[in-house]
Amino acid sequence: MFAAGSGGLLRALCLFAVFDAACLLNSGMLYPQESSSREVKDLSGLWDFRADTSPNRHQGFERSWFKSRLAQTGPVMEMPVPASYNDITQDPALRDFVGWVWYEREVVVPARWVDDKEIRVVLRVGSAHYYSVVWVNGVKVTEHEGGHLPFEAEIGSIIREDPNVPCRITIAVNNTLNLTTLPPGTIQYMKDRTMYPDGFFVQNYQFDFFNYAGIHRPVLLYTTPKAYVDDISVVTDFLDNTGLVQYDISVKNAATSSLKVTLMDKDGYSVASSKEPSGLLKVVDVHLWWPYLMDEKPGYLYSLEVRLVEAYKGSAYDDVYTLPIGIRTVKVTSNKFLINNKPFYFHGVNKHEDSDIRGKGFDWPLIVKDFNLIKWLGANSFRTSHYPYAEEILQMCDRHGIVVIDESPGVGIKDIRSYGNASLAHHLDVMDELVRRDKNHPSVVMWSVANEPASEMSPAENYFKTVIQHTKALDPTRPVTFVTDSNFERDRGAPFVDVICVNSYFSWYHDPGHLEVIPIQLKTQFENWYGKYKKPIIQSEYGADVVPGLHNDPPVMFTEEYQKEVLRNYHRVFDEKRKQYVVGELIWNFADFMTSQGALRVVGNKKGIFTRQRQPKSAAFVLRDRYWRLANGTGRLPPWTKYPCSF
């Protein structure tokens, strides 16, 4: 619990007070799971696809493509879901396409789902970039603004209208960015016909990763009973060896229901139970959730099983949902970040959801490979730069004890026009959705509302004050930050954050090639920020581009030797300041990733310590040696995990 009180009764009262504040959202977004009462049908695979290449990109709406099979409206191609569409074909126009694209798939729905009207059938889209409209059998069921987060709609009544008709799902997705989207962007029309063809325009944005688009995460059909568990919220604490789990359960369509709540340990044994929709569960001899390399048993998870029994027309209907929970606390002081009242030091990475061919498409082999590399490195944390990652990734973090700074898609906010009321309202909606989705993950220890905004502009003060305070009201149990690269004296968002996260690239974007300036400038940076704000600091980005296999001695920019020397110079200062108020270091970046084309990028950003294909550069071994040294310094590792420096 963030800034928890002390003492038995006071601790419990504080837990209830924080919990009440944390339950502001009135609807749930529980991750779909199969149980004795629920089924899930994954619609991953090949969908029909076509891009609307009409001049205004609105032909699909004007001609109502959703009313018939997409193949009847014109040429279609096969498109994998989930995946970005950009790198799937050999068509350069599709790679850089801006506007509406259309997906369609016909699905065979199990007969019992259609026949039993007491079954809710829900269509869920894990994420699509960025604006989506969804139809089922030609009937609009929902629309959603923003990528990276799930949305859903109940469709049972539609598929039951004519049980003999296949369930035809049509999803239109638009990747256009404007001044009020997150991230923001602008469309620039080139009207000089001596230079550009008719109708030529470009999508401009001020963030350094490729604007991949499409349906990026799985599309699912899932069921629940008519009376169902809609949401679960938990806040955890502990006192001595007793764990405290404050819970609240929201149910829908339940008039005469009863609940049974059972908290089970990792072996499936009940450790606490209740029959109330909200309350406090006490766990004797609690196993706390600890980060990777901070304890012999990291990532310990209990299971909160909620069983709803609803009496209806003389019969009883069950709904069963099980939520994994970790019991842990988070607290921030003026110079420390504490997990379970122990100092925690972030030694981790920044990442991207990015890979060859798939773009930002969800891919289990890649995810498992990345986790193996993270643990190989001895990293204990990462930031979801610069948007929320897939729920399945956070679930793995929970299980493996990898700590997460959960970031919104508020990246590239550089234009003063993006600080208006419409932008602010959308940003608040995004934070609502993010907190609602990720609030129960023990791995998530801090919210980040933005990355490198133009926070020196005068409208930024009220904007970020509002977003940060709103996020704290949604979840008082976690600290809130935003990641800055601004001048410490003029940053208008820093007064409102709990932890200072600062990005800097000394000897790269500033004084390029001069490694000798790093210690001076980095020390000055830390002393300036801490001197003004008296808050713990995380070096949230640092690094250098390197072309794999390029060598030079003495080191010069873009060589593997230069990247290693940049890291070593930063590390020496980190070691001095982490004894005072620096609480973390996150390398930029875990792996090379794609960007838009430009004179400063050679097929993407090359600051990864791994290639885009996840092969290590020389700097990966420098970082691995350092991270295992840091982990061994805690003195809480079992002998078999200790990393010998000669390994």
137 and 247 together in one domain = no
Active site residue 452: yes
Confidence of residue 317 (pLDDT cuts 50, 70, 90): confident
347 and 311 together in one domain = no
Average pLDDT, integer, range 83-105 = 97
Average pLDDT, integer, range 71-85 = 98
Mean pLDDT estimate for the chain:
93
156 and 236 together in one domain = no
260 and 396 together in one domain = no
383 and 256 together in one domain = no
Alpha helices, DSSP H, located in 92-238? 92-95, 111-115, 156-159
Per-residue model confidence (pLDDT) at position 631 = 93
Give yes or no for residue 5 having a pLDDT over 50. Answer: no
595 and 616 together in one domain = yes
Question: Which CATH number fits the domain that encloses residue 260?
Answer: 2.60.40.10
Element (H, E) at 18: helix 8-22
299 and 352 together in one domain = no
Three-class SS of 105-140 = EEECCCHHHHHCCCEEEEEEECCEECEEEEEECCEE
Sheet with 337-339, edge to edge strand ranges: 330-332, 337-339, 342-343
Cβ 350 vs Cβ 587: under 8 Å: yes
The backbone region for 378, taken as left when phi is positive above 0, alpha when psi lies in -120 to 50, beta otherwise, is left
310 and 394 together in one domain = no
Cross-strand partners of 390: none
Give the structural domain span for 236: 228-325
Element (H, E) at 521: helix 518-533
Tell me whether residue 422 is in a domain.
yes
Considering 199, 224, 249, which residue would you say is the last residue of a domain? 224
Q: What is the pTM of this model?
A: 0.94
Query: Tell me: the pLDDT tens digits for 454-470?
Result: 999 999 999 999 999 99
Query: Tell me: the pLDDT tens digits for 585-610?
Result: 999 999 999 999 988 888 999 999 99
CA 374 distance to own-chain centroid: 17
Alpha helices, DSSP H, located in 380-510? 391-400, 421-438, 459-474
320 and 348 together in one domain = no
Q: Which of these is catalytic: 152, 310, 452, 541? A: 452
Confidence of residue 634 (pLDDT cuts 50, 70, 90): low
Closest CA to 347 of 624, 569, 643: 624
| Beta strands in 313-432, from DSSP E residues, in sequence order | 315-325, 330-332, 337-339, 342-343, 346-350, 381-383, 403-407
Average pLDDT, integer, range 166-189 = 96
Per-residue model confidence (pLDDT) at position 11 = 54
Confidence of residue 316 (pLDDT cuts 50, 70, 90): low
379 and 299 together in one domain = no
CA 219 distance to own-chain centroid: 18
Per-residue model confidence (pLDDT) at position 1 = 39
How far is residue 409's CA from residue 405's CA, in Å, rounded to a whole number?
13
Give yes or no for residue 647 having a pLDDT over 70. Answer: no
Give yes or no for residue 616 having a pLDDT over 50. Answer: yes
Give yes or no for residue 363 having a pLDDT over 90. Answer: yes
Preceding omega of 548 cis (within 30 degrees of 0): no
159 and 244 together in one domain = no
Amino acid at 456: E
Tell me whether residue 4 is in a domain.
no
Tell me whether residue 603 is in a domain.
yes
How far is residue 451's CA from residue 484's CA, in Å, rounded to a whole number?
6
Burial 486-506 (b: 16+ CB within 10 A, else e): bebeebbbbebbbbbbbbbbb
**Percentage with pLDDT > 70 across the chain:** 93
Per-residue model confidence (pLDDT) at position 18 = 54
Tell me whether residue 242 is in a domain.
yes
* Token pair recorded at residue 639: 């002998």
Number of domains in the chain: 3
Per-residue model confidence (pLDDT) at position 194 = 93
300 and 359 together in one domain = no
Per-residue model confidence (pLDDT) at position 599 = 85
Give yes or no for residue 2 having a pLDDT over 70. Answer: no
Question: Which CATH number fits the domain that encloses residue 598?
Answer: 3.20.20.80
Question: Which CATH number fits the domain that encloses residue 144?
Answer: 2.60.120.260
